[in-house]
Amino acid sequence: MTATQKTIPGEAAKAPVWRTVANQFLSRPLIVIFVLSIVVASLISPAFLSTRNVFNLLQQSSIIGIISIGMTFVILAAGIDLSVGSVAALGGMIVAILCQDQWPVALAIVAALAAGALLGLAMGSIVALTSVPSFVITLGGLVAIRGLTLLLTDGRPVFGVPEELKFLGAGFIGPVPVVGIIFILVTIAAAVFLRLTRAGRYLYAVGGNADAARLSGVPVMAVVAMTFVVCSTLAAFGGVLLTAWLEVGQPTASAGAELTAIAAVVLGGTSLFGGKGGVFGTFVAVILLSILSNILNLAGVSPYFQQITTGLVLVGTVLLNWFIARRAAPMA
């Protein structure tokens, strides 16, 4: 047992303001860093908070954001999915090729998502049925699925995207980018699923303690496989939207997306050990990563330096979380 310092309501009321703020900071560093970065950005450039720039940020964040929401599912169940970049590229290629073959756009999208779901089911089932770490299985997926994607067209991009598809990727409703709306809807749907459904509850139980979940009657294997299906389907969807945005199916697209997605999930406060976190943290983290690169762009900083900064912010935030967890449980 650890003698955790619990704040007693009466005590909190008496505490000085700075302490309340400090406690807030220590319980939610991500939100504080998020707000700080917005303040800094608007100080550097008044244009930062313009409607145009805000929606720009949303648009930039959306595709990697949708992929990161899927990654959150897998990580909540204590897994990892390294194949999302390759699955995204495959989804983007499938939709481009089928549209070129005059398939109806909706059907082409469904086919791309189905391919993602099937690959997720395959990788997820192997992870669930064996004790081989998901890291290894999806590393195989990363390589093999990229190969499959390149094989489809011998490595050539596929040009020409129908108008309806373009609208999904690059269209606007009023001033709002369509991908941004999709990203927000996906996040809300995921949050509702995690918070309000039985399967969502099971996901947390499995991520927290798979053995306890099994003994409680939770179908652990199905839950694990489900997370990979969700992740791969959303990755394929991200790829579809990227093709729609860029108006080209690129077999080499989204390379390295897995690392950005994992970074966003971790930055968003979801534990790599599973069972703790959620999609709103991921949403905020994805936008934060975009804001950071936006700030550095506005300040005219070299993109190489931007990578360094992103890496440092990631490690810094995670260390902060670790420090807070340690403070809360001094004996651990």
Partner 1 sequence: MTIEMQVPALAPTPAGPPLAELRNIYVAFGGVHAVEDVTVDLHAGEVVGLVGGNGAGKSTLIRVLSGAHTADSGEVLINGQRVEIRNPRDAKALGIETIYQTLALADNIDAAGNVFLGRELQSRLGSLDDAAMESATRNVMGRLNPRFRNFKTPVKSLSGGQRQSVAIARAVHFNAKILIMDEPTAALGPAETAQVRELVMQLKAEGIGIFLISHDIHDVYDLSDRISVMLQGKLVGTVRKERVTKDEVLAMIIMGKQPGDVTQSDLEELHG
Pairwise CA distance, residues 61 & 238, whole Å = 11
Out of 4, 20, 23, 297, the only residue in the binding site for partner 1 (CB under 8 A) is 4
233: nearest Cα among 178, 171, 190, 173: 190
Six-digit token string for 262: 């994992």
Minimum distance of partner 1 from residue 219's CB (angstroms): 8
What is the SS3 assignment for 249?
Answer: strand
Phi-psi region of 174 (alpha: psi -120 to 50; beta: other; left: phi over 0): left
10 binds partner 1 (CB under 8 A): no
Give the angle subtended at the CA of 277 by the CAs of 132 and 197, to the nearest 5°.
Answer: 85
85 binds partner 1 (CB under 8 A): no
1 binds partner 1 (CB under 8 A): yes
Q: What is the DSSP string of 74-116?
A: HHHTT---TTHHHHHHHHHHHHHHHHHTT--HHHHHHHHHHHH
7 binds partner 1 (CB under 8 A): no
Q: Which is nearer to partner 1, 63 or 78 (CB)?
A: 78
The site for partner 1, by CB under 8 A, has a size of 23
Minimum distance of partner 1 from residue 218's CB (angstroms): 5
Minimum distance of partner 1 from residue 220's CB (angstroms): 10
75 binds partner 1 (CB under 8 A): no
188 binds partner 1 (CB under 8 A): no
160: nearest Cα among 99, 90, 93: 99
217 binds partner 1 (CB under 8 A): yes
Six-digit token string for 122: 């395959």
222 binds partner 1 (CB under 8 A): no
Residues 253-292 within binding reach of partner 1 (CB under 8 A): 275-276
Pairwise CA distance, residues 84 & 62, whole Å = 15
Residues 194-213 within binding reach of partner 1 (CB under 8 A): 196-198, 200-201, 204-205, 207-209, 211-213
Q: What is the DSSP string of 68-81?
A: HHHHHHHHHTT---
Angle at which helices 163-170 and 220-246 pack, to 10 degrees? 110
Minimum distance of partner 1 from residue 138's CB (angstroms): 24
Distance of CA 183 to the CA centre of its chain: 10
Per-residue x/- track, 124-143, partner 1 (CB under 8 A):
--------------------
74 binds partner 1 (CB under 8 A): no
Q: Which is nearer to partner 1, 130 or 197 (CB)?
A: 197
Minimum distance of partner 1 from residue 211's CB (angstroms): 7
52 binds partner 1 (CB under 8 A): no
Q: Which is nearer to partner 1, 182 or 218 (CB)?
A: 218
Q: Segment contacting partner 1 (CB under 8 A): 28-36, 135-143, 169-177, 191-199?
A: 191-199
Encode 21-60: b = buried (16+ Cβ within 10 Å), e = exposed.
Answer: eeeeeeebbbeebbeebbeebeeeeeebeeeebbbebbbb
Pairwise CA distance, residues 262 & 275, whole Å = 15
Q: Are 142 and 261 in contact (CB under 8 A)?
A: no
Minimum distance of partner 1 from residue 276's CB (angstroms): 6
Q: Which is nearer to partner 1, 28 or 201 (CB)?
A: 201
Q: Which is nearer to partner 1, 143 or 329 (CB)?
A: 329
Give residues in contact with partner 1 (CB under 8 A): 1, 4, 196-198, 200-201, 204-205, 207-209, 211-219, 275-276
